[in-house]
Amino acid sequence: MTTRPVVVAVDGSGESLRAVEWAVSEAQLHSTPLRIVSVASLPKMVVLQLQPERDAVLGYVRAHRNRVLSAAAARAAQLAPGLPINTDPIEGQAARAVTESGSGALMLVTGFRGTGAFAATVLGSVAQYAADHASCPVVVVRDQAAAAHRLVGVGVGDLEDCADAHTFAFEEASLRKARLMAIHAWHAPQASITWPGDRFPPPGLHAAAANAARQLTLLMDQWREKYPDVPVSEEVIHGHPGRALAALSARADLVVISRHASHPGLRGLSSVRHAVLNHAHGPIAIVPSS
């Protein structure tokens, strides 16, 4: 039994409470404690504009944070009597404080939209920042289906370097007694998809797709041996990876994508993560590579 907790960040919004519900189920699944965090933070611009009243405003923000933590803990206890639950009031710049709260955790769970336009912007920026910088897997909970699909999806961007994301995805599928779908999506540059004459598509495109499919099957065969209890299928898609994974999220209980920890802001990979987070229909896990 692992002692690393599932950490969930809350702000009092309905979406953050859905994140709590998801985190409770995950803590039960892994037989691990749940830690609920909430941050009291004032944007720098607000601090500068309200300097004389800063302490009073911060006191109100802290009181609201404490109420949010109490409500989230009560909801978690109602859903899972007996689950070890603790609350942690934190302070600092919201995105960084929440991200750092996941240090040493099994995973960090957050919603994507808060209450109202300002809160939506803050919570969205927290989720994006955590997805790019957290040292542990980050699960961003968007819409959830009423019934389980019994499917975990995993995006395979680099066919040679995705072990951490695959381990996470297969563990989740095994615990959930779910199928696993591995998707490798790719798209050619514009010059490669604007073909002259009647050549549609060029032979090289078919060869590249066939080669990617072979590599993906060989890779999945290795994981089938490690997790014989998990039914596995794979698919190679010619299209934008972000759109493909967002579409997969509509029929999966969880979609897992990898993040190269040494290059958290690498433009191409970062744009795929952000596209998935912005358009997903269900929970997305971003797993840093070691």
The residue among 50 and 180 whose pLDDT is bigger is 180
* Band of residue 159 on the pLDDT scale cut at 50, 70, 90: low
The residue among 216 and 35 whose pLDDT is bigger is 35
Q: What is the mean pLDDT of the chain?
A: 83
The residue among 39 and 55 whose pLDDT is bigger is 39
Numbered ranges of CATH 3.40.50.620 in the chain? 6-140, 151-289
pLDDT of residue 260: 72
Between CA 272 and CA 275 the distance in angstroms is 5
Bridge pairing between strands 179-186 and 34-40: unpaired
Between CA 231 and CA 180 the distance in angstroms is 6
The residue among 279 and 228 whose pLDDT is bigger is 228
| Burial group, residue 82, by CB count within 10 angstroms (0-12, 13-18, 19+) | exposed
Model confidence at 21: pLDDT above 90? yes
What is the pTM assigned to this prediction?
A: 0.85
Q: Is the dihedral of CA 26, 28, 29, 33 positive or negative?
A: positive
Between CA 83 and CA 74 the distance in angstroms is 12
* Band of residue 125 on the pLDDT scale cut at 50, 70, 90: confident
Average pLDDT over residues 118-139: 77
Between CA 180 and CA 188 the distance in angstroms is 26
pLDDT of residue 118: 36
Counting other chains too, the contacts that 59-68 makes at CB distance below 8 Å and 24 or more residues apart are: 62/89, 62/91, 64/12, 64/40, 65/38, 65/39, 65/40, 65/89, 67/12, 68/10, 68/11, 68/12, 68/38
Rounded percentage of the chain residues whose pLDDT exceeds 90 = 53
| Burial group, residue 196, by CB count within 10 angstroms (0-12, 13-18, 19+) | exposed
1-16 pLDDT, tens digit per residue, is 458 999 999 998 888 9
* Band of residue 114 on the pLDDT scale cut at 50, 70, 90: low
> Which CATH number applies to 6-140?
3.40.50.620
Cβ pair 168, 286 in contact under 8 A: no
Into which CATH architecture does domain 151-289 fall?
Answer: 3-Layer(aba) Sandwich (3.40)
Model confidence at 225: pLDDT above 70? yes
227-274 pLDDT, tens digit per residue, is 999 999 999 887 888 889 999 999 999 999 998 754 444 444 567 888
Average pLDDT over residues 132-136: 94
pLDDT of residue 105: 97
